[in-house]
Amino acid sequence: MATSEATTEGIRVHVTAEYSQEHSRPKQGHWFFVYKILIQNRGTQTVQLLTRHWVITNAKGEVEEVRGPGVVGAQPVLAPGESFEYTSACPLDTAFGTMHGSYQMVREDGSGFDAEVAPFRLSTPYSVN
């Protein structure tokens, strides 16, 4: 299992990722990875997650960027001390790769910032990368 963690302006983002053998079809060039993200507001102001930006890189160095509103259909509002957890997935056409990105956050006063999602590995249990 791969993990990463970053804190930006009081917003902690912790990721765990693992290979999903049951959803993968290696003989057809399809590998599937599931990741769980915990977003914690350790700051002093209420914030809302508005959008996400992912950078996904496969083993061939090919990069795909994904942008969109919220996460799993939600734009969570987090008061100080609150957290939000969700699970999502990423298909790849190689046995390993990496992901990183950011969440675009806005404070109650309307000011915004990007909360970092530190790079994490997507890899099959015995791949060398």
Residue 37 domain flag: yes
88: left (phi over 0), alpha (psi -120 to 50) or beta: beta
CA distances (Å), 99 to each of 8, 44, 62, in order? 18, 29, 12
DSSP calls for 73-123: TB--EE-TT-EEEEEEEEEESSSEEEEEEEEEEEETTS-EEEEEEEEEEEE
pLDDT at 128: 54
pLDDT at 120: 97
The whole-chain average pLDDT of the chain stands at: 95
Could you count the other beta carbons within 10 Å of the beta carbon of residue 61? Answer: 8
Residue 101 domain flag: yes
CATH for 70: 2.60.40.1470
pLDDT at 127: 59
Residue 22 domain flag: yes
Residue 45 domain flag: yes
Residue 52 domain flag: yes
Cα torsion through 2, 22, 93, 100, rounded to 10 = -30
Predicted structure pTM score: 0.93
Tokens representing residue 122 in the block? 């997507």
Confidence of residue 78 (pLDDT cuts 50, 70, 90): very high
Residue 128 domain flag: no
Inform me whether the pLDDT recorded for 126 exceeds 80: no
pLDDT at 82: 98
- Output the CA torsion sign for 95, 63, 15, 71: negative
* pLDDT-above-90 percentage for the chain: 95
Confidence of residue 125 (pLDDT cuts 50, 70, 90): confident
Mean pLDDT computed over 102-110: 97
Residue 9 domain flag: yes
Q: How many domains does the chain have?
A: 1
Residue 8: which domain range?
Answer: 2-123
Mean pLDDT computed over 25-32: 96
Mean pLDDT computed over 98-126: 96
Tokens representing residue 106 in the block? 């806005």
Residue 129 domain flag: no
Q: How far is CA 59 from the centre of its chain?
A: 18
